[in-house]
């Protein structure tokens, strides 16, 4: 079994960096996860910190901000029936759950 695993690694069939890169991009594009949540999930899979940080670099900052703003506005609009305080709390909670940075969330909520 060790020979097979060694062969797969040598021929680049098993590659942690490639896995981390694809995982990062797919979770960001499909589920609109933030960097914090992606990082936590990759740590849970036992990947090294430098591998995770390299994978997170795959997300372009312009795309990240665009996705964050689009998601935040969507959540904000979905909760239009709530009071301002409840609306902010619900938006905050959902964006934290998705794994976005607190600074980005606070900036968005200050504008509302």
The number of distinct structural domains making up the chain is 2
* pLDDT tier for residue 8 given thresholds of 50, 70 and 90: confident
Residues 1 and 54 in one domain: yes
pTM for the model stands at: 0.86
Domain carrying residue 41: 1-59
Residues 110 and 73 in one domain: yes
Residues 64 and 105 in one domain: yes
Residues 3 and 52 in one domain: yes
Residues 49 and 103 in one domain: no
* pLDDT tier for residue 12 given thresholds of 50, 70 and 90: confident
Does residue 28 have a pLDDT over 90?
yes
Between residues 21 and 112, the one the model is more confident about? 21
Angle of the 84-98 helix axis to the 102-111 helix axis, nearest 10: 150
Residue-wise pLDDT for 33-89, tens only, equals 999 999 999 999 999 999 999 999 999 999 999 999 999 999 999 999 999 999 999
């Amino acid at each position: 079994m060790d020979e097979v695993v060694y062969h797969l690694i040598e021929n680049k069939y098993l590659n942690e960096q490639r896995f981390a890169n694809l995982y990062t991009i797919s979770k960001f594009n499909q589920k609109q996860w933030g960097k914090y949540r992606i990082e936590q999930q990759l740590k849970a899979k036992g990947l090294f910190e430098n591998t995770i940080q390299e994978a997170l670099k795959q997300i372009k900052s312009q795309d990240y901000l665009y996705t964050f703003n689009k998601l935040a506005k969507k959540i904000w609009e979905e909760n239009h029936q709530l009071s301002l305080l409840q609306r902010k709390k619900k938006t905050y909670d959902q964006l934290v759950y998705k794994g976005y940075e607190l600074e980005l969330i606070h900036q968005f909520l200050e504008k509302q």
